[in-house]
A and B are shown apart, each in its own frame.
Chain A
Amino acid sequence: MKRKAQARMTETIAVIFIFFILILFGLIFYARYSQSSFVQKQEELLAKEAIDSTTKALFLPELICSKGEAEPEDHCLDLMKLRTANETFRKYLTDYYFNIFSYARITVQEVYPDDRSWILYERIKTNATREEPTYFSVSLREETPDPVYGFGYIEVRVFS
């Protein structure tokens, strides 16, 4: 009788041991999952910020191709505006543009016909641990009597 009880005790202890091992595995698994999902969430937030900044930059009245009161052209930047935009951006960086773009660098690169680039906005975070670049192709309009369209892209790099 005593032996049977001992065997039962051992069996119960073994079952409880295995049960706790399973729970431990579950906890480790969950901890790892929540850690990776936290990192992923941070990356997603940064990516969202990059997209927001890109969209804002693409539709900035200071850059977009416009013609009087007509609808502005999508995915098009005016070269005449581009040439002077850097000065405006720098002048109102802290009191206006920083609220829109935060820590970021916005560059426009011409691919065709020439190979030129303009840094429009630059505010780099010194202790940044992450950066996220987003690219969009754009037309670059030269406002001559007949508009001439070049091909290029805008790069928005956000820092966090």
Chain B
Amino acid sequence: MIFSKKAQMEMMGLVVIVILITLGMLFLAQFALNEQPQKKIFTRKGLASSTMAAMMKTTIEETNCYGLQFEKDLLEDCAGYKVFGSSTHLCNGKYSCDFIADLSTDLLNSTLGQWNKKYEYISKLVSTGDVLVNVASENGGCLSRKTERDTSGSFFLNTNVGLVESVLYICE
């Protein structure tokens, strides 16, 4: 009887230890699985789409391309250049694809780059998968990242050589 009581007490002790360890584990799990703040997610999502929309709408004010639009005129011309090898617009002495790449690098670097965000902007022909423009931040792009990455969503442009899809990724 005495031994049985002692065994019961030991069991109780073990139960208390197990409960304490479980509580500790729960606290740790709460810390480890803590979701990233909503602000970061909202900002990245909003930034990607607003930056892409603003960039696509931008009117060019450069020699020989004054008044042309980034997406409607130059991206279409760039798609034509990739397929037929001829370009209508030569902005600042550069073919439209090169000009778009340079301009988007400048625009994204002076905004997202300044705010320490990594980014990657890609425009490609949907039918062939040919990449027209691929611009990434200096400290690496976002294509290989699967987590903490947000996208502007696809911006489609119907051109005479097929559909062009443009996407901007922003990651931490």
- Cα–Cα distance between A134 and B27 once the two chains are bound (Å): 32
B53 adjacent to A135 (CB under 8 Å): no
**With a CB–CB cut-off of 8 A, which chain A residues contact B59?**
148-150
A138 adjacent to B50 (CB under 8 Å): yes
**A→B interface (CB under 8 Å):** 15, 19, 22, 26, 29, 33, 43-44, 47-48, 50-51, 74-76, 111-113, 134-139, 146, 148-153
Nearest A-chain residue to B39, judged by Cβ:
A47
Instruction: Please tell me which stretch of B107-115, B129-137, B157-165 contacts chain A, meaning at least 4 of its Cβ atoms lie within 8 angstroms of it.
Output: B107-115
**With a CB–CB cut-off of 8 A, which chain A residues contact B46?**
136
Chain B residues 119-170 with CB under 8 Å of chain A are none
B106 an interface residue at 8 Å Cβ cutoff? Answer: yes
Shortest Cβ distance from residue B9 to the other chain A in the assembled complex, whole angstroms: 10
Secondary structure call for the B interface:
helix
**One of B31, B38, B57, B61 near A139 (C-beta < 8 A):** B57
A136 adjacent to B50 (CB under 8 Å): yes
Count class of interface residues, chain B: 20 to 34
B20 adjacent to A22 (CB under 8 Å): yes
Nearest B-chain residue to A135, judged by Cβ:
B115
Shortest Cβ distance from residue B12 to the other chain A in the assembled complex, whole angstroms: 11
A146 adjacent to B54 (CB under 8 Å): no
**With a CB–CB cut-off of 8 A, which chain A residues contact B39?**
44, 47-48, 50-51
B61 adjacent to A113 (CB under 8 Å): yes
Shortest Cβ distance from residue B19 to the other chain A in the assembled complex, whole angstroms: 11
Nearest A-chain residue to B58, judged by Cβ:
A151
B101 an interface residue at 8 Å Cβ cutoff? Answer: no
**One of A19, A76, A134 near B43 (C-beta < 8 A):** A134
Q: Say yes or no: A146-B110 contact (C-beta < 8 A), given A22-B20, A139-B57.
A: no
Q: Say yes or no: A149-B57 contact (C-beta < 8 A), given A112-B107, A135-B111, A138-B50.
A: yes
